[in-house]
Amino acid sequence: MAPLALLVIVFMLLAGGNGVGDPATPATAPAPDYILRDCAWTYKDTAWTAHLAIPGACYEFYKSRPHDRLDNYAQYALSDYDRDYLKGLICNFRDAGAAKNYSETDDVLNILAFVQSMPYAPDKLSTGYDEYPRYPIETLVDGGGDCEDTAILAAAILNEMGYGTVLIRLDGHMALGVKCTGDFPGAYYVYKGARYYYLDTTCKGLGIGQEPAEYARSNATILPMASEPCMYANFSFRVEDRGADFARCRVHCNVSNVGTGTAKNATLRITGHGGAPGAYVPIGDVDEGAAGWVEATLAMPVNETTQIECVLYGENFKPVEVKSGLFYL
């Protein structure tokens, strides 16, 4: 009996504009569904401004995403859907830096000064939650956050620029590190044989390798920048008809990727215990935030106690197993 398989993926394509200017330049008129934010900071005695036009749909998307990934804050920095927006922001920073004959170090420090200029706002006061790590787009729209939020934003930008970047979790604080050559001066942390020099996004004016004394002896956990797709599945079923030996059971399984990055080569196996043949449904790649459904029809033996099981597996995510309770046909 051939299973029926269908996956419908709904995804959001971001589009946005932003500009970085020296000195202040007028913002272009954005579409009505864009959120406008103006930022101002100083680097190398130059007053900089950024006019940001952030897609409102993008902000709402991230507000609806999980905010409980407290075991790995790097996941907030590695989302797929803000890449186009961050790339546009990066291009503006690089173009503005080129006009100033900035070095790569200057570009990093200018971005750091931009992030450091954002007001500090504890999660409890700004969101009502004790812990609420923001995605980069949220921090830009909200105009700041706590040390975790601004460290995530800076890490997302620098990682997208191609710099080796890690998050550094300290006692009561979050910072980040940027990979530099061995002869670069300042405080650093070693991860997999490379030196990652300390960057602090909440202490204004501190540069690469300048670590506040209060954190110098703190316990540190290095959080590498690695995306982590996370698949979710649940299912329901109904008996469509019943014969002398077998009953036809229609299984409807919902699947979604609630992690960061694309889940590769997902496959769903739907089986019924008690001798029922299973159905293997190849789904393929599932983008971050994508959701859809798969259906299959199983021939289940009657007059037996049985159970339906769905297993979702692939290349780069943990398998997901969901089962029904035992039932009698």
pLDDT above 90: percentage of residues in the chain: 55
The reported pLDDT for the residue numbered 111 is 96
Do 208 and 251 share a domain, yes or no?
Answer: no
Domain count, the chain: 2
Do 254 and 211 share a domain, yes or no?
Answer: no
Average pLDDT over residues 78-82: 87
Give the closest residue to 192 by CA, choosing from 217, 226, 158. Answer: 226
The reported pLDDT for the residue numbered 244 is 86
Do 77 and 203 share a domain, yes or no?
Answer: yes
CATH code of the domain in which 207 resides:
3.10.620
Euclidean distance between CA atoms 267 and 284, whole angstroms = 7
Euclidean distance between CA atoms 303 and 316, whole angstroms = 40
Contact 202, 120 (CB under 8 A): yes
Among the three residues 179, 195, 224, which one is the final residue of a domain in this structure? 224
- Determine the residue type at 267: T
CATH code of the domain in which 310 resides:
2.60.40.10
Q: Which two tokens stand for residue 34?
A: 């864009």
pLDDT at 321 over 70: yes
Q: How many CB atoms lie within 10 A of CB 92?
A: 18
The reported pLDDT for the residue numbered 66 is 81
Q: What is the mean pLDDT of the chain?
A: 84
Do 306 and 185 share a domain, yes or no?
Answer: no
Could you tell me how many helices (H) and strands (E) the chain has, helices first? 8, 17
Do 179 and 60 share a domain, yes or no?
Answer: yes
The reported pLDDT for the residue numbered 116 is 97
Dihedral sign from CA coordinates of 258, 138, 191, 213: negative
The reported pLDDT for the residue numbered 81 is 85
Among the three residues 224, 245, 260, which one is the final residue of a domain in this structure? 224
The reported pLDDT for the residue numbered 52 is 92
**Burial group, residue 31, by CB count within 10 angstroms (0-12, 13-18, 19+):** exposed
Euclidean distance between CA atoms 268 and 275, whole angstroms = 19
The reported pLDDT for the residue numbered 328 is 85
Do 112 and 147 share a domain, yes or no?
Answer: yes
Which residues face 164 on adjacent strands? none
| Residue 7 covered by a domain | no
Euclidean distance between CA atoms 207 and 202, whole angstroms = 11
| Residue 239 covered by a domain | yes
| Residue 168 covered by a domain | yes
| Residue 12 covered by a domain | no
pLDDT at 80 over 90: no
pLDDT digits (tens, 9 = 90+) for 20-67: 555 444 444 444 589 999 999 999 999 999 999 999 999 998 998 888
Average pLDDT over residues 215-243: 89
pLDDT at 129 over 70: no
The reported pLDDT for the residue numbered 318 is 92
Do 75 and 166 share a domain, yes or no?
Answer: yes
How many angstroms separate the most distant Cα atoms in the chain? 86
Euclidean distance between CA atoms 32 and 53, whole angstroms = 10
Question: What band does 125 get if pLDDT is binned at 50, 70 and 90?
Answer: low
| Residue 1 covered by a domain | no
Among the three residues 201, 224, 247, which one is the final residue of a domain in this structure? 224
pLDDT digits (tens, 9 = 90+) for 96-116: 999 999 999 999 999 999 999
The reported pLDDT for the residue numbered 158 is 96
Do 304 and 279 share a domain, yes or no?
Answer: yes
pLDDT digits (tens, 9 = 90+) for 167-194: 999 998 999 999 998 788 999 999 999 9
Q: Which two tokens stand for residue 174?
A: 């979050």
pLDDT at 231 over 70: yes
pLDDT digits (tens, 9 = 90+) for 193-210: 999 999 999 999 999 999
Do 237 and 308 share a domain, yes or no?
Answer: yes
Do 239 and 117 share a domain, yes or no?
Answer: no
Q: Could you give the residue ranges of the DSSP H alpha helices within the chain?
A: 56-63, 74-77, 83-99, 104-116, 123-126, 136-142, 147-160, 213-216
Higher pLDDT pick, 276 / 310: 310
| Residue 8 covered by a domain | no
pTM, rounded to two decimals: 0.73
pLDDT at 297 over 50: yes
Higher pLDDT pick, 153 / 329: 153
Dihedral sign from CA coordinates of 129, 135, 136, 137: negative
Q: Which residue has the tokens 């700041």?
A: 144
Do 179 and 51 share a domain, yes or no?
Answer: yes
Higher pLDDT pick, 268 / 25: 268
* Ranges 1-5, 227-231, 242-246: which has the least confidence: 1-5
Provide the residue range defining the domain that includes 102.
17-224
| Cα-Cα end-to-end distance for the chain | 19
Residue 72 sits at φ, ψ, to 5 deg, of -150, 90
Question: What band does 7 get if pLDDT is binned at 50, 70 and 90?
Answer: very low
Do 159 and 272 share a domain, yes or no?
Answer: no
